[in-house]
Amino acid sequence: MELIRGLHNLRPRHRGHVVTIGNFDGVHVGHQAILSRLRESAARAGLPSCVVIFEPQPREFFAGREAPPRLSRLRDKLALLKAAGVDRVLCLSFNQRLRELTAEAFVQRILVEGLGVTHLQVGDDFRFGCDRAGDFAFLQQAGSTLGFTVENTQTVELLGDRVSSTRIRSLLESGDFATAEALLDRPFVIAGRVLHGQKLGRTLGVPTANIQLKRLRAPLHGVYVVSVQHEGQVLAGVANIGERPSVAGDGQAHLEVHVLDYAGDLYGQYLPVRFHAKLRDEQKFAGLDALKAAIYADIDAARAYWQQYPLPCCV
């Protein structure tokens, strides 16, 4: 899969595409339905498929830190699009210039002149262009004048409701990982490198691997039963994701995992963490003794969980 960053990196060889546009946050089963139609249309046309995404996502541009947290970082999203058989991704920076582009100019400059679109696959509620003025009817009209076809992908419903990134976010928030997994068609995993922390964990008797979140604002907060994958093995664990109000922190959210019955060195490892159940919200404890007692109780609760359920075969 080829990643093209910005319109200015489009070359004449990039003309002629079957295209879809969107945020594709999480690449859930609804997105996968669009991508599968895209793949079919591309094969029929004998042209490469192209997904146009925005970075930051438009809601992040408008609302900044008030925007909902992402289900997938850019690198995860790209890996998932690649796995879905997408040939090219055009990643446009969503800035003031792009936001002011009218729907007509968007179609003309990006889709027609930039990508040489022959077919456009869109989701059922897709709207774009300045003030979201471009809808399906507009696109069909534009397509008939400018020479491309437009197809609407039907809403994908699962367990009685429409699949959406918002619904998955709220399932994760409420700790319903089984339903979130069904909507994502994969487990919800946060992966990152293990960094050095404040070295407090081991003095509490609970060493924790601190996973680097970088700019990711996780859609989770609290204490969870987790599993991690390390050197080809799946290990049971318990994790906290939050600002650690009981110890002087840096105000940033951290993901910290205590791996049960493990005593090795994890520094520098890239650790995928899969979430299984929520145990409680993060709390501010009066002192380290109270924090320690709560963490020991969490470890007991995680052990009880893993006695009831088998460890997954992979994370």
Ligand X SMILES: Nc1ncnc2c1ncn2[C@@H]1O[C@H](COP(=O)(O)OP(=O)(O)O)[C@@H](O)[C@H]1O
Answer yes or no whether residue 282 interacts with ligand FMN by CB under 6 A.
Answer: yes
Instruction: Tell the smallest beta-carbon distance from residue 43 to ligand X (Å).
Output: 46
Instruction: Tell the smallest beta-carbon distance from residue 289 to ligand FMN (Å).
Output: 12
Length of the chain in terms of residues written: 315
Angle between helix axes 165-173 and 177-184 (nearest 10 degrees) is 160
Answer yes or no whether residue 262 interacts with ligand X by CB under 6 A.
Answer: yes
Question: 309: which residues sit within 8 A by CB, 6+ positions away?
Answer: 276
In order of 80, 224, 279, the CA distances from 75 in angstroms are 9, 24, 29
Q: Which CB, 107 or 315, lies closer to ligand X?
A: 315
- Tell me which DSSP letter residue 179 carries: H
263 binds, among ligand X, ligand FMN, none (CB under 5 to 8 A by kind): ligand X
DSSP structure string for 285-303? -SSHHHHHHHHHHHHHHHH
Binding residue for ligand FMN (CB under 6 A) from 149, 152, 246, 269? 246
Q: Which CB, 118 or 210, lies closer to ligand FMN?
A: 210
194 binds, among ligand FMN, ligand X, none (CB under 5 to 8 A by kind): ligand X
3-state SS class at 151: strand
CA distance 75 to 128: 24
What character string, x for contact with ligand FMN (CB under 6 A) and - otherwise, covers 187-216? ----------xxxxx----x-x-x------
CA distance 117 to 102: 18
Which residues would be at the binding site for ligand FMN (CB under 6 A)?
197-201, 206, 208, 210, 223, 238, 240, 244-247, 256, 258, 282-283, 285, 291, 294-295, 298
Which residues would be at the binding site for ligand X (CB under 6 A)?
194, 196-202, 207-210, 257-259, 262-267
